[in-house]
Amino acid sequence: MFRVVDWFSKAFAYLAMAVLIFIMLFITVSVCGRYFFNQPIPDDIVIMQALLVVLVFLPFAFVQQEKAHLSVSILTDRMGPKGQFFCDMLGLVVGMIFLGIVTVASFGDALAAFFDGAVFEGPLEIPEWPARGSVCLGTGLLLLKLLADFIKGLIEGPSDVQVSHMPDH
């Protein structure tokens, strides 16, 4: 299970990178079209809004895999290994509860947008469900990653060495 979740995390991160490259090219073409030919790409702003949601939510699990989330560790850095372990496990549980709620809600939202045929306003009538579904995918995969980290923590237990949450670089 751990390897599968890590593989999907990395795949979603690469997909988010591809979306970022597409966004940069798309904006360049739209701006050039607007200024040189007085003809921007139709619904360019709507498309960018939808793609930004995809860009933000898909790599969530990869960020957790790399332990690159922002954290404030003023108190936990002063704790021993068991205290840090307890705080890490508590954080995983709270994160799983919150992300479970967000994943279920965003799944219902994406499903409703799909069945209702919801579209963004504009000449192209772009469907809303892919952007809304990316929220569900990103938070759902992060939920699985947190669950995997929690199970791994239960199996391994606290380490004997005090862990600093400060990055190595």
Residue spans of alpha helices (H) in 37-80: 44-57, 60-65
Q: Are 48 and 130 in contact (CB under 8 A)?
A: no
Which pLDDT score, from 0 to 100, does residue 30 have?
A: 93
- Report the sign of the C-alpha dihedral through residues 12, 13, 15, 16, in that order: positive
pTM above 0.75, yes or no: yes
Domain boundaries, the chain: 2-65+74-156
- Sites in the chain below the pLDDT cut of 70: 160-169
DSSP category for residue 166: S
CA distance 90 to 57: 23
